[in-house]
Amino acid sequence: MAEFSLKLNDDQLQIQEWVHTFAKDVIRPAAREWDDREEFPWPVVQEAAKIGLYGWEFLMNAMSDPTGLMMPVSIEELFWGDGGIGMAIMGSGLAAAGIAGNGTPDQMMEWVPQCYGDANDVKLGAFCVSEPDAGSDVSSLRTRAVYDEATDEWVLNGTKAWITNGGIANVHVVVAAVDPALKGRGQASFVVPPGTKGLSQGQKYEKHGIKASHTAEVVLDDVRIPGRCLLGGKEKLDAKLARAREAGRTGEAQPAMKTFEATRPAVGAQALGIARGAYEIALEYAKERTAFGKPIIMNQAIAFKLANMVTEIDAARLLIWRAAWLAKNGGYKNAEGSMSKYYASEMAVKVTEEAIQILGGYGYTREYHVERMHRDAKIHTIFEGTSEIQQLVIARAIAGMRIE
């Protein structure tokens, strides 16, 4: 077990500085352009791939840190640069986590690298759970997976909604119902390999924020995939379904829930990075901007806002680091992963709004970044479990009961 320490080690400090430099020199200067264009920032992601920041090796390296802190530390810096481009770089990680969480070691070795490609040929991954009628309620997915014994293939049909990298990804990881009567316990995760017939992009959504990240529907129309694309394998699934049918309850987490649980501190770190970016801009501005003959920070009303902002940013970081450490060292006890994501997301919306207020009229314009940061922060209270769902998870953990 790794010691919990607030002192980052040399490796972590080095990575933190390396990501920060890329965020400052490459991401932040490009942020406004890609927000305006509302397109996937391929050239920026290619730059990230060239230095090894976008790629499965980086992901594996960060995930293997025994303290768990390498991941949130890197993500905070990335999203300090920009939320939309940060998400474009991080989006494939959700597919990789879906494969790692449910697949065998062989499946991981085969598919995770294909979610990233290489520096000369960048590829993406997409993790497809949500549907038009099933977002928070992942137990009621309508996408069906039917096994065709004659050909040893799975046939997928359905529509997935709001999928990051949906339709433009090389590898789509799809969660589907094998036995809908068993709700969440009747679901499984599948890899849809590159170029598979029947998978297409539906509408591309126009969004409030993180506009550089591509979000679209994914339509699955008689998508046939080889049996080996079932993550975890058929034997394991058959045993799980049999147990669920007999006992009525396996107690096993749903595949989608497993992925989200593992990625929660990372999502909190995204919100944290955006909030810190906005706070730093607001602090500098408050020291320089004069009104009534003095810098606006000399007014308690402004100084106290900044004091609250930095306090809440630090509180969020402590929750995230604790959750990331626990995830690697003994596991959560009271839904600490959800606490970190919930607090950091709500904090980021509040802090970025205060930043706009401190910048006044300038803050409301595109020029000073903070209005974009506010729009980018908001998604964090919605995706990968809304704030209300995080509250539900925390409430159930502390009550030891199934609060509805």
Ligand X SMILES: Cc1cc2nc3c(=O)[nH]c(=O)nc-3n(C[C@H](O)[C@H](O)[C@H](O)COP(=O)(O)OP(=O)(O)OC[C@H]3O[C@@H](n4cnc5c(N)ncnc54)[C@H](O)[C@@H]3O)c2cc1C
Please say which residue, 163 or 323, places its beta carbon nearer to ligand X: 163
The Cα–Cα gap between 290 and 272 comes to 29
Q: Which residues, in sequence order, are CB contacts of 18 under 8 Å at separation 6+?
A: 53
Please say which residue, 133 or 284, places its beta carbon nearer to ligand X: 133
Return the closest-CA partner of residue 309 out of 267, 350, 341.
Answer: 350
Return the closest-CA partner of residue 107 out of 199, 225, 214.
Answer: 225
Stretch that binds ligand X, among 148-156, 295-303, 344-352, 386-394 (CB under 6 A): 386-394
Q: Quote the least distance from Cβ 375 to ligand X, whole Å.
A: 11
Stretch that binds ligand X, among 25-33, 207-215, 275-283, 286-294 (CB under 6 A): 207-215
Question: 201-225 as b/e, with b when 16 or more CB fall inside 10 Å?
Answer: ebebbebebbbbbbbbbbbbeebeb
Please say which residue, 136 or 203, places its beta carbon nearer to ligand X: 136
Q: Quote the least distance from Cβ 114 to ligand X, whole Å.
A: 17
Stretch that binds ligand X, among 23-31, 160-168, 235-243, 344-352 (CB under 6 A): 160-168
**Is-contact 115 92, C-beta < 8 A?**
yes
Residues 125-154 binding ligand X (CB under 6 A) are 127-130, 135-137
Burial environment of residue 15 by CB neighbours within 10 A (0 to 12, 13 to 18, 19 or more): buried
**Does 388 sit near ligand X (CB under 6 A)?**
yes
Q: Quote the least distance from Cβ 187 to ligand X, whole Å.
A: 12
Binding mask 56-95 for ligand X (x = CB under 6 A): --------------------------------------x-
Q: For the chain, how far is it from start to end, CA to CA, in angstroms?
A: 35
**Does 389 sit near ligand X (CB under 6 A)?**
yes
**Does 348 sit near ligand X (CB under 6 A)?**
no
**Does 382 sit near ligand X (CB under 6 A)?**
yes
C-alpha distances out from residue 161 to 135, 166, 204, 244, Å: 8, 9, 10, 28
- Our measurement of the distance from residue 283's CA atom to the centroid of its chain's CA atoms, rounded to an integer in Å, reads 28
Q: Quote the least distance from Cβ 6 to ligand X, whole Å.
A: 31
The Cα–Cα gap between 187 and 195 comes to 24
DSSP per-residue string spanning 143-163: -EEEEETTTTEEEEEEEEEEE
Output Rg (C-alpha) for the chain, integer angstroms: 22
Among 74, 143, 164, 340, binds ligand X (CB under 6 A): 164
Please say which residue, 67 or 259, places its beta carbon nearer to ligand X: 259
Closest residue to ligand X using C-beta atoms: 135
**Does 163 sit near ligand X (CB under 6 A)?**
yes
Among 31, 240, 383, 393, binds ligand X (CB under 6 A): 383
**Does 15 sit near ligand X (CB under 6 A)?**
no
Stretch that binds ligand X, among 31-39, 159-167, 219-227, 281-289 (CB under 6 A): 159-167
**Does 176 sit near ligand X (CB under 6 A)?**
no
**Does 263 sit near ligand X (CB under 6 A)?**
no
**Does 219 sit near ligand X (CB under 6 A)?**
no
The Cα–Cα gap between 260 and 241 comes to 22
Q: Is 367 annotated in the active site?
A: no
Please say which residue, 211 or 322, places its beta carbon nearer to ligand X: 211
Among 202, 386, 396, 397, binds ligand X (CB under 6 A): 386
| Residues pairing with 117 in the sheet | 122
The Cα–Cα gap between 38 and 34 comes to 6
C-alpha distances out from residue 190 to 7, 96, 100, 389, Å: 40, 12, 12, 25
**Does 100 sit near ligand X (CB under 6 A)?**
no
Please say which residue, 286 or 373, places its beta carbon nearer to ligand X: 373
Where does 347-390 show beta strands of DSSP type E?
none
| Residues pairing with 216 in the sheet | 163, 204
Residue of 346, 367, 384, 388 with catalytic role: 384
Phi, psi of 294 (to 5 degrees): -150, 160
Q: Quote the least distance from Cβ 66 to ligand X, whole Å.
A: 28
User: Residues interacting with ligand X, by CB under 6 A?
Assistant: 94, 127-130, 135-137, 162-164, 207, 210, 215, 379, 382-384, 386, 388-389, 392
